[in-house]
Amino acid sequence: MTDYLKKISYSLDFKLFSNSTIRMSKFVHLLEKDNVICLYNASNLKRIFGNEILKNLFYDLQETKHIDYLERIKTNTAEAIFNPFILRLIKDKYVLIDNYTEEDYVNELRMKSLSSIEIDNIFIYVTEKCNLSCRYCYVQQNIEQKKEMDIETSVSACNYIYDLIKQENIKKLYVVFYGGEPFLNLNIVENITNTLNTLVKDRCKIYYRIITNGCFLTDKNISLIQKLNIIPSISMDGPKDVMLKTRTNAKEYENILHGIKKLKEHKIKYEISFTISQGNINCLVESIEYIINEIRPFSIRLNVPEFSGNVQGFLPNEFFEKIGEQMKHVLYLLANSHLECCNLGYENFKNQEPSFFPCSGCGRRLAILPDGTMSRCESFVTLKKHILGKLDKHSKICFNEKEEKIWLRRSGYYIDDCKKCIALGLCAGGCAYNAELYNGDFFAADYTLCEWAKSLTKEFIFNKFPKIGGELT
């Protein structure tokens, strides 16, 4: 294939390749909107816009053709236009030559992805305790005996993270304080931040974030996170009537609003972590409008709820279908707002950087429980599943290599249903945690994400959204 491209880059004399055959890749989709025709390669997020010639190519090359087919369809098109067009079809894997297959290309994508994997985010459960009992919270439902991280474990975690930064030469790292409600163990948050900063110094830039329900945003606590340079991410899913359905009582809701007011007074940037749930699915646009106009964060993260280990926590398929139906409206609402939206995958799409692995758990993330138990996934770790090991007092871990390899084998590029999907390169199979709980199979697709991902992909193909970026995680 490589030799072929070297030759074809200088010439498209089809006589040189008289024995070659071509066909359309099974990853390619034909789309049409407002009389604009698009060939879209879901495996690498590449697009070609054009006219009827694209439609003819797509349908004709569903069957393998002799290469002189390209010569026959050239008709009156000038070589200066036609030849680069055909070269692009070949280089970007819209059409495949001879015995080169989709599996060959998948192997290339996998090797490229593996070569660039490094840890870039770590979730630290400083506590599993919380003052609220949100109905959709998998942490509260999965963990019965809730613990808090102590000083010894926090120091051990810091030493482990520092060793990791040195060993892998990590230059940028996101540390997320998680729970439970992290403000219930704020001393440990402070200890971890100060210890890591002392250890790491200028070796690596660390960005800190704390996921909070917003009930403890007092002047004292706000001053501390401001001093530590920690960005608060506040869980909020809409106005008061929505929040009362799924998350909190009237008094706590007023506390949250008061805390957000304090953040504004202290001029601290804050983001909103917005979970789409049964409490707001029927007023999703209105709920997000409330966040935009009344809460006014600098950023918003949209989350689909994850299941608890209890099968009763499963949501009906109709819920996820509604998400797909509404995402178009949500997308345009966010695009025309002052907010950044950082987890819808548009940055990857715009840069044509497909997600071969579906989430950070595939080599880029660590999650640490209060007792030092460690996993690639902040959700699985609450069920004590897919565990990599447990930190000892010397900051060492007996690493489960078998478990590590399992994560690197999970990709939508190996799942039959995903291979045929237009959203392949955007979601790559979705959440392993949801897939295992919902389907009983770690390697299955996360069908809860399908309508969401398809809706986003179709809008991304034909439109530009400069304020929307980041990965779909």
- State residue 304's pLDDT score: 82
The length of the chain is 473
Continuous segment of H or E residues that includes residue 140: helix 138-142
- State residue 81's pLDDT score: 67
- State residue 17's pLDDT score: 61
Q: How does pLDDT run along the chain (473 residues), one tens digit per residue?
A: 444 444 444 445 555 566 889 999 999 999 999 889 999 999 999 999 988 888 999 999 999 998 888 877 776 566 666 778 888 898 999 999 999 999 999 999 999 999 888 899 999 999 999 998 888 888 888 888 899 999 999 999 999 999 999 999 999 999 999 999 999 999 999 999 999 999 999 999 999 999 999 999 999 999 999 999 999 999 999 999 999 887 767 788 999 999 999 999 999 999 999 999 888 999 999 999 999 999 999 999 998 877 766 544 567 888 888 999 998 899 889 888 888 876 778 888 988 999 999 988 888 999 999 999 999 999 999 999 999 999 987 777 777 888 888 999 999 999 999 999 999 999 999 999 999 988 899 999 999 889 999 999 999 999 877 656 544 33
- State residue 466's pLDDT score: 63
Among 244, 241, 194, 189, smallest CA distance to 212 is for 189
Annotate 251-312 with DSSP letters as a single string: HHHHHHHHHHHHHHHTT---EEEEE--TTTGGGHHHHHHHIIIII--SEEEEEPPPPPSSGG
- State residue 16's pLDDT score: 56
pTM of the model: 0.91
Angle formed at CA 143 by CA 139 and CA 147, multiple of 5 degrees: 100
> Could you give the 3-state DSSP secondary structure of residue 97?
strand
Q: Cβ distance 358 to 410 under 8 Å? A: yes
- State residue 470's pLDDT score: 44
Angle formed at CA 46 by CA 51 and CA 76, multiple of 5 degrees: 30
Q: Cβ distance 443 to 473 under 8 Å? A: no
